[in-house]
A and B are shown apart, each in its own frame.
Chain A
Amino acid sequence: MRVNKPAQLTKLRKELVAAEKKHAKKIMVCCGPGCLANGAARIVEELHKVLKKKRIKGFKVEALKETGCHGFCQQGPMVVIEPKGTFYTHVKPKDVEKIVDMSIRKDETIKRLLYDDPSNGHKIERYHDIPFYARQQRIALRNLGQIDQYKIEEYIVVGGYKALAKALTKMRPEDIVAEVTTSGLRGRGGAGFAAGRKWSTCAKAEDTPHYVICNGDEGDPGAFMDRSIMEGDPHSVLEGMVIAAFAVGAHEGYIYVREEYPLAVENLKLAIQQATEYGFLGENILGSGFDFTLKVSRGGGAFVCGESSALMKSIAGEVGEPRAKYVRSVLKGYLDKPTVLNNVESYANVPVIIDKGGKWFAGIGTKKSTGTKAFSLVGKVRNTGLIEVPMGTTLREIIYEIGGGILDDRPFKAVQTGGPSGGCLPEDKLDLPVDFDTLTEAYSMMGSGGMIVMDDQTCVVDVAKYFLAFLVEESCGKCVPCREGLFQLHGLVQKICDGQGSEEDLEKMEKLSDVIMAASLCGLGKSGPNPFISTLRYFRDEYLVHIRDKKCPAKVCRELIRFDIIDEMCDGCMACLPACAFDAITGKKKKVHVIDQDKCTKCGACKVVCTRDAIEVL
């Protein structure tokens, strides 16, 4: 069906809401990336089977929804039953029948499947009451876990395309730009550039045509915010983009999705098809006379393709390499034409801004970083997952309240923010509010929102080495400071990990970092030395211990540790003997064993099998 007028949309929504209300209950199965990997598809299948078998009064299969990522991926696969918000975790196909019998047919909860609060061991029934959710505020992720990711009707039920109708019929393009400017929205893809400024420059650019592009490359390892939005709530991205297109006078747009996200591509294409059928895309959108078509473009498979100039080249079918131009892409972007490029999360915020007003949005977060920000919280925290918090929430709140603190109650060591070229912040920075400028001032950055928590068993020198290796691999190789400089910097960090580093090396590395940052062509090189610089700034001692004492305090760097058997603890059980694939351990039954250091590769297998804790790492 085609919606030709805003009034028609309102009517349609009323009908859809009424139909929805007929169901006494709704079952939502998280089909986000994490839960799918853990077998969510089989839960859905099983639910269909069981529901078909047992017809239930007041419940139709339409009320079974495959939603996007609910956020708490670690607890997946998960099933949520509305209206109560009953939250079942780690659901297995064999639990399905019982869920239907107890919680759909009847109104009982299955205790076993509820979430255990690790702080007190209590079971929590509703997900709103779980601390992981309680502290969050969801704008960009508003519909994830709430609506069926494959159905446009579901998006309409929650108010979707209402903002578009408002923008196209009640606002002029310049009003939209003004609203976005008022909202203070800054790009969520990393640099935090004001979206309003970008839009207004593009809108005013004389050269035509104008383009609107969405950056769904999300190259940061471990980050999956954009992916979750594109898969789980594709219409919010489309809606944001059509509004942007109208605001800047573009009639064509692209969503650039990285190669590794086939489901995102599929869902976006489906969403584009649906939106076109309904008249939210294509010609004469909502009867307003405005035309806009949107295509999905598959990524070139490199981290650097997320960089704006490389991305635009990649869409145009060229090799995705950044080009150096001291003219901004908003004036000379895709095909050298004025182009607005924004991140997935940035666009997802736009409908809400138009709907509720820029002032409302600006009232959330901090003065210079308004709104909320989505993060993927991973590493050594109890609760990993996808979260969204108001800007200005402190790192401590994120890690301890939402994240539930450090795994196994180990000491916190650092949190890495901002992706591969971000930085590591130590304990004394935990009370910093998370916003663009504070993180930058602390020598880290917001980046696209990856957050990796580390405990005392993490070696920061090793972390720097890991990220540098990633960047060396992902550098496009076009310019010398990045290609050769990061390569040498990585080599020098490696040298320190191997116990071969010197203090002069450190000095040299700092100088080299300065040159790489000053002379590189694109953002990758310009921020490439960050993993080194930020770890050195806050953990210089740890570097010095590696260099002077040839020791790795976290006991990670292989060349600097040794495995030894503590004589008093070893009872000669011989468990470690077969565990060592390198025949480094000798010993007889009930006699203390010995490790031959020359043969030992420091793989740690013996330590894992020793039940008496007789193997120590020095």
Chain B
Amino acid sequence: MVHLTINGRVVQASEGEMLLDVIKRLGIDVPAICHHDSVEPFGSCRLCTVEITRADWDGWKNYVTSCLYPVADGLIVSTHCEPVNEIRKTLLDLYLARHPHSLFIQKLAAEHGVPTTSYAEVPDGDDCILCGLCTRICERMGFSAISTIGRGHTKQIAPPLKEAPPDCVGCLACAHCCPTGFIKYSERGPKRKIWGKQFERIACSQCGKLTLTTEFADSLSVTRDIPREYFDICDDCRRMEIAATMGRLSQWTREEETAS
């Protein structure tokens, strides 16, 4: 256990925890838009920046991203002091200039007192804030189908060579975690389309409900060592089947009990 001070309150945390986790637990609202509990912290949005100091630092202060900074005994953290607010506002101001049409950014910026940008708007600014959540999720899932291309101001998220990504299994994890809704997908009947790639969804052999894409099922069966037939029926039907089996089992048991 370590003890640290956050906004004047002495709090306890466990060794190895990141500051952001403790801050959130205290109910303090710190924007952290490149963070997601299911992937490793990344440190790209810099909005979770906080001020840290220690009693023995002689007044010296540092600004660190709380999503990546491990807690330590005696740390003194301020999440909303003037310099930190200034950093956050400036970052949101920059975000607004780059993504003038993003509703997500507009809302967040407004909440932090930045209604419009004071910088030159990027005319063709798109909605991808390069938070890297999609690529990290996809990598975590084991596909690494998409990545960033280029660097600096022209960096983009894209499948390799900007063609339909061969490794994408159409799981939609990326689209679901994208905070700005930049990743588009469409579904029509059994067809699903994402990143320009077409997928066919499996129809449950019992109720006909559409479930995973064939590619996703194939890949899961290989990587998780699950028999491919497992994916032929949907979860609901499987639950019904299990219930039925359980029912039959208990029926047998009762029959055997009465028989003996």
Residues of A at the B interface (CB closer than 8 Å) are 302, 304, 319, 323-326, 472-481, 483-485, 487-488, 491, 508, 511-512, 515, 518-521
A-B contacts, 13 of them at CB < 8 A, read A324-B42, A326-B64, A477-B150, A478-B42, A480-B46, A483-B130, A484-B95, A485-B94, A511-B90, A515-B91, A518-B49, A518-B63, A521-B65
Chain B, residues 29-41, CB within 8 Å of chain A (1/0): the string is 0000000000001
Q: Which residues of B contact A518 (CB under 8 A)?
A: 49, 63, 83, 87
Q: Which of B68, B87, B97, B151 contacts A324 (CB 8 A)?
A: B68
Flag if A515 contacts B153 (CB, 8 Å): no
Main secondary structure of the interface of A (DSSP, over half): helix
Flag if B152 contacts A472 (CB, 8 Å): yes
| Contact A481/B153 with A319-B148, A324-B65, A519-B63 known, Cβ cut-off 8 Å | no
Flag if B152 contacts A476 (CB, 8 Å): yes
Question: How many pairs, one residue from A and one from B, have CB atoms within 8 Å of each other in the complex?
Answer: 94
Q: Which residue of B lies closest to A304 (CB)?
A: B151
**Most chain B beta-carbon neighbours within 10 Å: one of A325, A472, A475, A477:** A477
Flag if B91 contacts A477 (CB, 8 Å): no
Please report the C-alpha to C-alpha distance between residue A133 and residue B153 in the assembled complex, in whole angstroms: 44
The minimal Cβ–Cβ distance linking A237 to chain B, given in whole angstroms, is: 28
Flag if A477 contacts B87 (CB, 8 Å): no
| Contact A483/B46 with A324-B65, A518-B87 known, Cβ cut-off 8 Å | no
Flag if A324 contacts B43 (CB, 8 Å): yes
Residues from 66 to 123 in B contacting A, C-beta threshold 8 Å: 68-70, 83, 86-87, 90-91, 94-95, 97-98, 118-120
| Contact A477/B153 with A485-B94, A488-B94 known, Cβ cut-off 8 Å | yes
Flag if B148 contacts A519 (CB, 8 Å): no
Cβ of B5 within 8 Å of any chain A Cβ, yes or no, is: no
Flag if A479 contacts B43 (CB, 8 Å): yes
Q: Which residues of B contact A521 (CB under 8 A)?
A: 43-44, 46, 65
Q: Which residues of A contact B153 (CB under 8 A)?
A: 472, 475, 477, 483-484, 487
Q: Which residue of B lies closest to A326 (CB)?
A: B69
The minimal Cβ–Cβ distance linking B10 to chain A, given in whole angstroms, is: 22
Q: Which of A323, A326, A477, A512 contacts B151 (CB 8 A)?
A: A477
Chain B, residues 172-191, CB within 8 Å of chain A (1/0): the string is 00000000000000000000
Q: Which of A324, A476, A480 contacts B95 (CB 8 A)?
A: A480
Q: Which residues of A contact B68 (CB under 8 A)?
A: 324-326
- B-side interface residues, number (CB < 8 Å): 35
Q: Which residues of A contact B70 (CB under 8 A)?
A: 326
Flag if B148 contacts A477 (CB, 8 Å): yes
9 extra interface residue pairs, beta carbon distance < 8 Å, beyond A477-B150, A481-B94, A519-B63: A324-B43, A473-B152, A476-B151, A478-B44, A478-B130, A481-B46, A484-B94, A491-B120, A521-B43
Flag if B151 contacts A519 (CB, 8 Å): no
| Contact A479/B155 with A324-B65, A484-B94, A511-B90 known, Cβ cut-off 8 Å | no
Q: Which residues of B contact A481 (CB under 8 A)?
A: 46, 90-91, 94
| Contact A480/B94 with A326-B70, A519-B87, A521-B43 known, Cβ cut-off 8 Å | yes
Q: Which residue of A lies closest to B63 (CB)?
A: A518
Please report the C-alpha to C-alpha distance between residue A478 and residue B148 in the assembled complex, in whole angstroms: 10
Please report the C-alpha to C-alpha distance between residue A518 and residue B120 in the assembled complex, in whole angstroms: 22
Q: Which residue of B lies closest to A479 (CB)?
A: B44
**Most chain A beta-carbon neighbours within 10 Å: one of B63, B147, B151:** B151
Q: Which residue of B lies closest to A481 (CB)?
A: B46
Residues from 152 to 174 in B contacting A, C-beta threshold 8 Å: 152-155
Q: Which residues of A contact B133 (CB under 8 A)?
A: none
Flag if A480 contacts B45 (CB, 8 Å): yes
Q: Which residue of B lies closest to A476 (CB)?
A: B151
**Most chain A beta-carbon neighbours within 10 Å: one of B65, B68, B150, B152:** B152
Q: Which residues of A contact B120 (CB under 8 A)?
A: 488, 491
Q: Which of A319, A323, A474 contacts B152 (CB 8 A)?
A: A474
